[in-house]
A and B are shown apart, each in its own frame.
Chain A
C-alpha cells in the first residue's frame, strides 16, 4: 500500500505507476471485493490522508462536496438544510452508522455499481464531478462519468476530487426511495430519485427521474417518462400516464434478489411515492396556493 500524505505525492505516484494500482478511500466496498477476489490490486493507494477533500461548501449557487466527505459528514453539514432532506433519505437507507461514517461520496460515485444509492440522486440533480491528475483538472457530468457497471471515465492517473450541483431553489424539490431487504445495509432491489420543479398551478416545469436499472446495470435517467410529464399539470391522470410510460422504459432484470416482475411493480410504486414526496416538500410554497 502506498500511503501519500499530500496531493502532490499522490498525483506524482499515479502518473508514474499505473498498472495494477487501485485507489482506496475508506474501503467499505473495495475491501469486500478484494476478499471475494473480484479485484486483485497489486498496489493500493490510500486516499484517506488527503483530508483537504473532506468538505461541503456553497459557492456561487453551487453545492460542492469533496470526494472524501463521508455520507455522515454530508448530511451533518450546515448547508444541508431541509431542501436537501433527500440526502438524509439516502443516508437512512444506505447503511448503518458504522457504514455511513466511513463510506465516501467520491467512493460511491467511483464504485459505480448498479446499487449505488447516491448516483440516482446526483443524476437528477444533474451533478458534475471534478477529476484531477498531475497535469490539471477536468469537469464532467456524473451521467457521462459513469459509463457502465464498475466502469467510469476515471483515467489511471486521475482521482475524483469533488462533485457539485446547482442548489435546490424554492420552486424545486428532490426525493429518494429505495426498497430492499433490510434498511441498515441493503443492496436495493430498486431505487429511485426524483427532482421536480413546479410552475404555477402544479404545472410540471421540469422533472428528472433516475432509477438504478433503467436500461441495464447502472443508475440512469428515465428520459421518456420525463418527457411525458414535462409541461403537464400534476394530477392522478398525468401520473398514471407517466407510470404507463415508465413500465415500458424500465429494463429491469431478474436475479437472486428479486424477479423482474416484482421489481417493476415496486419501481412504479416508489416512483409515485417519490413524486408525491416532492410535491409535499413544495407544499406551502406560493406556487401551490
Chain B
C-alpha cells in the first residue's frame, strides 16, 4: 500500500494531504477534510449521490482514487454557499421544498450549478438531462426541476 502527497484545491482552499493509493476522493473529502456534505450512496457509480465538481464538471467522487484528483479544483456542496449566504440554487430548492430525505440534494445542486453555468436558460429537458445520473427516491423530481428553473431565472436576473 503506497502513500502519496495529494495537493489539490477544495472549495477555493489549497490542501496537501497524505493519502493511500486505495483511498477514494469521497473518503478523503468526508474523513480527512471533514466535508460531510458529500454523501455516499451506492459506491458503484449508479446513483450519482456522491457527485462533486472537479475542474467545473460533475463527477462521481466514489469512482475516483483520491490521488487522481491531484492538481484539480474540487467544489463540494460546502463550497457553493453558507448558512448566512445561500446560493440562489439552494434558496430555490428550499422555496420549492425540493428536498425530502435530502440525501441526493448536494449532488442535485452541484449538477444544477454545472448546468446553469453552461446554460443559463435551460428547458425541463435540459435539466432532466443534467440530473439524469442522480437517483432521488423521494421527490419524484418535479419540484427539483421547478427549483432549478426558479434558480435559473433568479441568476439571470442578478447578472
Q: Are A96 and B65 in contact (CB under 8 A)?
A: no
**Cβ-based interface call for A191 (8 A):** no
Other-chain contact of B64, A26, A32, A44 (Cβ < 8 Å): A26
Q: Are A3 and B67 in contact (CB under 8 A)?
A: yes
**Given known contacts A26-B64, A27-B64, A98 and B58 CB-to-CB distance under 8 angstroms:** yes
**Cβ-based interface call for B57 (8 A):** yes
Per-residue B-contact encoding for A146-188, CB less than 8 Å = 1, 0 else? 0000000000000000000000000000000000000111000
**Given known contacts A27-B63, A102-B64, A32 and B132 CB-to-CB distance under 8 angstroms:** no
**Distance to closest chain A CB from B36 (angstroms):** 20
Main SS at interface, chain A = loop
Per-residue A-contact encoding for B51-73, CB less than 8 Å = 1, 0 else? 10010011110111101101000
Q: Are B65 and A32 in contact (CB under 8 A)?
A: no
Per-residue A-contact encoding for B106-130, CB less than 8 Å = 1, 0 else? 0100010010000000000000011
Q: Which residues of A contact B64 (CB under 8 A)?
A: 26-27, 31, 102
Per-residue A-contact encoding for B128-159, CB less than 8 Å = 1, 0 else? 01111110000000000000000000000000
**Given known contacts A31-B65, A183-B132, A98 and B70 CB-to-CB distance under 8 angstroms:** no
**Distance to closest chain B CB from A9 (angstroms):** 15
Chain A residue at smallest Cβ distance from B57: A101
**Cβ-based interface call for A50 (8 A):** no
**Cβ-based interface call for A111 (8 A):** no
Q: Which of B9-17, B39-47, B80-88, B95-103 interfaces with chain A?
A: B39-47
Q: Which residues of A contact B133 (CB under 8 A)?
A: 95-99, 184-185
Q: How long is the Cα–Cα vector from A72 to B114 in the complex, in angstroms?
A: 13
Chain B residue at smallest Cβ distance from A96: B133
Chain B residue at smallest Cβ distance from A28: B63
Q: How long is the Cα–Cα vector from A98 to B43 in the complex, in angstroms?
A: 13
Interface centre among A27, A98, A101 (most CB of B within 10 A): A98
**Distance to closest chain B CB from A26 (angstroms):** 7
Q: Which residues of A contact B48 (CB under 8 A)?
A: 96, 98, 184
Q: Which residues of B contact A27 (CB under 8 A)?
A: 63-65, 68
> How many residues of chain A get a CB closer than 8 Å to chain B's CBs?
24
**Cβ-based interface call for A48 (8 A):** yes
Q: Which residues of B contact A46 (CB under 8 A)?
A: 65, 67-68
Q: How long is the Cα–Cα vector from A48 to B67 in the complex, in angstroms?
A: 10
Q: How long is the Cα–Cα vector from A46 to B70 in the complex, in angstroms?
A: 11
**Cβ-based interface call for A38 (8 A):** no
Interface centre among A27, A32, A72, A96 (most CB of B within 10 A): A96
Q: How long is the Cα–Cα vector from A27 to B21 in the complex, in angstroms?
A: 13
**Given known contacts A102-B60, A184-B132, A35 and B51 CB-to-CB distance under 8 angstroms:** no
**Cβ-based interface call for B32 (8 A):** no
**Cβ-based interface call for B30 (8 A):** no
Q: Which residues of B contact A185 (CB under 8 A)?
A: 45-46, 133
Q: Are B43 and A35 in contact (CB under 8 A)?
A: yes
Q: How long is the Cα–Cα vector from A98 to B46 in the complex, in angstroms?
A: 10
Q: Are B134 and A96 in contact (CB under 8 A)?
A: yes
Q: Are B68 and A97 in contact (CB under 8 A)?
A: no
Chain A residue at smallest Cβ distance from B3: A1
Q: Which residues of B contact A92 (CB under 8 A)?
A: 129
**Cβ-based interface call for A266 (8 A):** no
**Cβ-based interface call for A24 (8 A):** yes
CB within 8 Å of A: which of B1-29?
Answer: 2, 4, 21, 24
Q: How long is the Cα–Cα vector from A97 to B118 in the complex, in angstroms?
A: 13
> What 12 new A-B contacts, CB under 8 Å, besides A96-B48, A96-B133, A97-B111?
A1-B21, A3-B67, A24-B65, A26-B63, A27-B65, A31-B45, A31-B64, A35-B44, A46-B67, A48-B68, A95-B133, A185-B46
Q: Which residues of A contact B (CB under 8 A)?
A: 1, 3, 24, 26-28, 31-32, 35, 44, 46, 48, 72, 92, 95-99, 101-102, 183-185
Complex A-B: 18 CB contacts under 8 Å: A1-B2, A1-B4, A1-B67, A24-B65, A26-B64, A27-B63, A31-B65, A35-B43, A46-B67, A46-B68, A92-B129, A97-B58, A98-B45, A98-B48, A99-B60, A101-B57, A102-B59, A183-B132
